[in-house]
Homo-oligomer: A and B are copies of this chain.
């Protein structure tokens, strides 16, 4: 018998479950990146035959969807908050922190919906949309206006997170080195401004910039609310 790794000395291993599979997958992605999440590797991590995973996810794509869902489940939204702007700000910062906590999952979050029609996505990934719509409608926006506000808000939010993560470098020791090395590599002639910004690029206060952008956007969107209220029937 091939009782390979640790586990119980007895014949039985811990029972598998979708939750266990997904959380192990997430841990693996967090630790070693998306590419490390292969069926074989995950099976090994769970001390099971890779094929057993197909009981809990129809295929690798579904597994990735599951991981997305699991991460988004960490996001708490309160659609009943009477201060919708404050709530949107809170959600934004929460999502930002979530992204920083699971940077390797962000490509998934942002990419998977591109290949799945809205209606067929995992429910967990649609929950934020639904709840933010609820929040906005509660705040007085018409459903259609709520959708537009959502799009502007969520688009901006995703964009910010992507942007920030693109400049983010894991090891702050190496940061300076790689940054300088990289920037030095740029032809001075065609990239003068970028090269000159080296030091400024190095300290990026993502939370502050997110706040600034949100302030602009939310106040603009709030303006549409008061206009809409004055003219349109509720």
User: Which residues on A are within 8 Å of B, measured CB to CB?
Assistant: 103, 106-107, 110-111, 113-114, 117-120, 123, 126-127, 129-130, 133-134, 137, 143-144, 146-148, 151-152, 154-160, 162-163, 165-167, 169, 178-187, 190-194, 196-197, 200-201, 209, 212-213, 215-217, 219-221
Whole-angstrom distance between the alpha carbons of A126 and B65 in the complex?
Answer: 31
**Whose C-beta in chain B lies nearest to the C-beta of A113?**
B166
**Whose C-beta in chain B lies nearest to the C-beta of A181?**
B119
Judging by beta carbons under 8 Å apart, are A182 and B147 in contact?
A: no
Judging by beta carbons under 8 Å apart, are A216 and B220 in contact?
A: yes
Judging by beta carbons under 8 Å apart, are A107 and B114 in contact?
A: yes
Given A123-B190, A148-B212, A216-B216; 10 other pairs, CB 8 A cutoff: A103-B114, A110-B111, A120-B185, A126-B191, A148-B209, A154-B159, A156-B217, A157-B159, A216-B220, A220-B220
With a cutoff of 8 Å between Cβ atoms, the chain B residues found around residue A106 in the complex are 114
Q: How far is the CB of A161 from chain B (nearest CB, A)?
A: 8
Judging by beta carbons under 8 Å apart, are B111 and A111 in contact?
A: yes
Judging by beta carbons under 8 Å apart, are B212 and A126 in contact?
A: no
Whole-angstrom distance between the alpha carbons of A166 and B157 in the complex?
Answer: 15
Judging by beta carbons under 8 Å apart, are B217 and A114 in contact?
A: no
> Within the complex, which residue of B111, B117, B129, B156 is in contact with A213, where a contact is CB–CB below 8 Å?
B156
Judging by beta carbons under 8 Å apart, are A130 and B191 in contact?
A: yes
Q: How far is the CB of A144 from chain B (nearest CB, A)?
A: 5
Most buried by B among A107, A151, A160, A193: A193
Most buried by B among A133, A165, A196: A133
With a cutoff of 8 Å between Cβ atoms, the chain B residues found around residue A169 in the complex are 117
Known contacts A160-B155, A160-B159; is-contact A182 B117 (Cβ 8 Å): yes
Whole-angstrom distance between the alpha carbons of A163 and B111 in the complex?
Answer: 10
Q: How far is the CB of A141 from chain B (nearest CB, A)?
A: 11
Whole-angstrom distance between the alpha carbons of A111 and B114 in the complex?
Answer: 12
> Within the complex, which residue of B180, B193, B213 is in contact with A155, where a contact is CB–CB below 8 Å?
B213
